[in-house]
Amino acid sequence: MLSASSDTQVEVKFRDKTKLKGNITSVEPVMFHLRDSKSGTTQSIAYSEVDSVNKASGGVSTKTWLIIGGIAAGAVTTWLIAKPAVCDGGAQTRGIC
């Protein structure tokens, strides 16, 4: 499903094997409009010309960084809570203590 989003870059692969990267600016019943990321020009593209549309790979998204940060924060918090219980207040000197 296509949606217009100015912050999501997509890569359009055409049936003739050419590719174009840009942002979808609007979606209509028989076509969509793509703003070229390099030139800034907008072009209308008929669905019949398109082989596939995928999110362009351009690094790691903000959502991914937030998930990684949440996992790291959870791991640190768990370690800070679990270590004193596992290590018995410092009485044990083996393993992770």
- Looking at residue 44, which CATH number applies to its domain? 2.30.30.100
Check whether residue 69 and residue 51 sit in a common domain. Answer: no
Q: What is the dihedral of CA 43, 49, 47, 61, to 10 degrees?
A: -70
**pTM confidence score:** 0.53
Please indicate, yes or no, whether residues 51 and 64 belong to a single structural domain of this protein. no
Letter string b/e over residues 24-44, b meaning 16 or more CB atoms within 10 A of that residue's CB = beeeeeebbbbbeeeeeeeee
pLDDT in the model for residue 18: 92
- 66 and 48 part of one domain: no
Rg (CA), the chain: 24
Domain membership of residue 70 as a residue range: 60-97
Q: What is the pLDDT of residues 27-85, one digit of tens each?
A: 888 889 999 878 889 999 999 999 988 887 666 667 777 788 888 888 888 878 877 77
Query: What number of residues does the chain have?
Result: 97
Whether 1 is covered by a domain: the verdict is no
Q: Is residue 84 part of a domain?
A: yes
Q: What is the pLDDT of residue 95?
A: 65
